[in-house]
Amino acid sequence: MTVLSQLTPGQQGTIHAIHAEQALYQRLNALGFRIGKQIALIRRASFNGPLHVRIGATDIILRESEAQRIQLDLA
């Protein structure tokens, strides 16, 4: 199973599961991270920095540690 942090820039996937405690889960949810949604990795910051992802109309940055909790199905 792939997690979001393993994508290469330009690659897409569908959210399969989100493994997060309630606070993180709610924040992710409010920003559009929902099961079944398409998500694309746009770019990564240098020096192992945050990831820039896109879900629908929303661009979001998040750290590697959070991105590891999001499981994807690859298209």
Partner 1 sequence: MKRIALLGMPNTGKSTLFNRLSGASARVGNWPGITVDLMSAKILLGGHIAELIDLPGLYDLHGFSDDEQVVRHFLSNHTVDLVMIVLNSSQIDRQLSLALQIKQLGLPTLLLLNMQDEAKRAGITIDTVAMAAQLGFPVQTISAKYGDGCPQALQAAALVLNTPVSTIPSPAHVAQLLEVDTQIEQTMHNIVKHAVQMPTQLNDETTDRIDRVLLHPWLGLPLFFLAMFLLFQFIFTAGKPLQDGMAWLLELFRTTALEPLFASLPAWLNGLLLDGIYNGIGTVAAFVPIIVLFFLVMSMVEDSGYLSRAAFLMDTLMAKMGLDGRGFVMVLMGFGCNVPALMGTRVMRSRPMRLLTMLVIPLSLCSARLQVFLFMIATLFAASQAAYIMFALYMVSFFTIFLTAILFKHQYKSTEPFILELPPYRFPTPRQIWLRGWQEVKHFLSRATKFIIIGVVLVWLLTHYPTNVAPASSATWAGQIGQLFAPVLNPIGIDTQLAIALIFGFVAKEIVVGSLAVIYGLQGDALSQQIAMNIDWVQGMSFMLFTLIYTPCLSTIATMKSESKSSGFMWLSIVWSLALAWLISFIFYQGARALGL
Sites of contact with partner 1 (CB under 8 A):
22-24, 26-32, 34, 42-50, 52, 56-63, 66
Count of helices and strands (H, E) across the chain: 2, 6
Q: Which is nearer to partner 1, 2 or 32 (CB)?
A: 32
- Residues with Cβ within 8 Å of residue 35, at least 6 apart in sequence: 15, 16, 17, 18
In angstroms, give the least distance from the CB of 47 to partner 1: 4
Q: Which is nearer to partner 1, 6 or 64 (CB)?
A: 64
In angstroms, give the least distance from the CB of 2 to partner 1: 20
Helices (H), 1-75: 22-30, 64-67
